[in-house]
Structure formats: structure tokens, C-alpha cells
A = this chain, B = another copy of it.
Amino acid sequence: MPASNFPPVPFQEPVRREDAVLERIAAIVGRHTIPSGEVHIGDDAAVLAPIVGETLISTDVAVLGVHLDTSLFPLEDLGFKAVASAVSDLAAMGGRPRAAVIAVSSPPGTDLEELHRGIADAAAMTHCPIVGGDLTRSRDVSVAVTVIGETPGKGSVLRADARPGDTIFVTGPLGRSAAGLRRRREGAPLDDPLVVAHRRPWPRLAEGLAARHAGVNAMMDLSDGLGLDFNRLADASRVGFVLTELPVADGATEAEAIGGGEDYELIMTTADPDRLLDTFHRRGLSTPIAIGLVVREVGVRTLKGAPLERAGWQHEL
């Protein structure tokens, strides 16, 4: 959006700064091949060829100093994490990415090229082309990513359809991201495996597609932590749960596995565990881990016999 009229409009002097920066950024994020009939960066809106099946859309914003501490991490990680977080929302529906647009606000002097290199890396790794964006100035550096996805074949998997008796699975052990942040604070290098798990979260797109094809009833990604997110799924489905296992990642603590967030593992509930395990196996994916059962009693929300608190991240707004 133009800052057209405030502060006073500079009628006299032609300013080309924004257009020039946009050109450099387009060169960074626009390296993908544009399919015939599509228009990506450069017009009022991007034009995409028809989308297959249901259309998915999700938006996520990451703010420097809130979502990333630049005394510990390079700026490009903010861009990477913002895109990965948004793409993970598509994985959580069983969808696949089609395109992303990026709105960046930043103070003068921000290294926008570094920021967009992280954005471009995540877009390339998740096959989610950046098709448009907006730049504006502000005091904070913030990155708002919106992703469009599609669900070919059967419909998207919601978080509201878990059923009593379903077995609950996660796609992998939990707490790696929180452990990586802790290790970085303790001085671990940027390429420490757990630190990388924190810096470069990997949306479980293949796992989400496999889960949808295996007919899971409900699914979501663990972005804010198991304690908070799984209670949300149970709220949406009006069910309770009895978790008997907590798969803690090597190097992480139990508290990090429950409340750490940003793992982006998927949690799934299914009436047909064998079909889920078989589908993952046939696709060469890591074996999902059964952690408990969905129960009818909405008030029953336990992990190893104790209540599972809504621990995890919420903003103070």
C-alpha cells in the first residue's frame, strides 16, 4: 500500500528508491520458472493458473525481536522461519503449496536482500514460488507471509473432526526447536543440528499429504507447542484425550517437548492406525509415533495421567 499522503507528498522530486529495491528483491525471490499463463511479481496482482480442488490460504507474521533475536541469529532466519511457518499450515491441512506473497515492513537501512535470501531459500525448499509482495517502512522489521495451497483429490483435513477412539500420532519427536534455541543461547554454533532445527524448520508437506491419503480424521501442526496446540484441536473437535507417550527429541527436555513450539511436527488422529503406518511406510517417510487416544469426555486432557496444561506461546495483545 502506498504511503501516499502522509507525510506530505513529495511532488517535486522523482523518487525511485522503492522501485529500485523492488527490482533487486525480485531478482532474489523470482528465480523460479513462471508457468505459461501466469504472472508473478510486477503487476497489481499475481495471476495463477486454475487451482486444483479446494484452495487453502493462511497468513503468518514474524517480527524481529519477537520471533528472532538478531544477537543470536542472522536476519535471513526471520525470512526463512516466516515462510516455513506459513507453509506448515498447508501441510497441516494435507495440502500442497501453490504460491506465496510477502509483505515486509522495515526501518531504513535494513538488509532487505539478506532477509529475502532466507525467504527465497524456504520458498525453494518447499516448492512454493514467491509471486508478489509489498514493501513499506516501519520501526520494526516484520515479515507477513501468505501462502496459497491446493488439496487435490480428497478434501482438506481439519482439526475439528477428531473422533473418540481415534489413535493419536505425531510425525516425530518433539522439543528440537526449543532445545536448539537453548543451545544457541549457551553458545552452540549456528550449524549445530538442534540449532539448525530451530533456524530452519521443515514443514512436513509429504507427511501431511500421506496422512490425508491415509484418511486421518483430524490434523494440525505443532507450532505453539503440544500443550497449547493439542488442547486447541480437542476444543475444536469437542473431545478429550489420554496421552500415554511423550516422544522427546534427543537433546531436548520434557518441558521443551510439551511447551516449546516451532517443531512443526504434525499431530494426527485416525480410526485406522494400520493404514496410516502402511501409507507412511510405502512413501518412505519416518514412522509416525502413536502417543495416545481420543476420548469422548471433553474434560479429560491428560498426559501420563496428569492434566496436559495449555503450555506454549501466546502473545500478550
Contact = CB atoms under 8 A, between A and B. Distances in A.
Given A60-B103, A95-B45, A66 B138 contact: yes
Given A58-B101, A66-B137, A178 B1 contact: no
Contacts of A15: 310, 313-314, 316
Interface residues of A, number: 115
A225 interface: yes
A135 B317 contact: yes
B146 A1 contact: no
Contact of A315 (B54, B69, B103, B137): B137
Interface stretch (A26-34, A209-217, A254-262, A268-276): A254-262
How many chain copies does the complex carry? 2
Interface string A216-231: 0000110111010000
A219 B216 CA distance: 46
Interface stretch (A104-112, A164-172, A241-249, A286-294): A104-112
A156 B112 CA distance: 30
A315 B18 contact: yes
Given A47-B156, A112-B317, A160-B43, A223 B61 contact: no
B57 A132 contact: yes
Given A53-B50, A62-B1, A258 B11 contact: yes
Given A11-B258, A137-B316, A146-B146, 7 more contacts: A1-B62, A3-B67, A4-B225, A5-B260, A14-B310, A16-B314, A51-B55
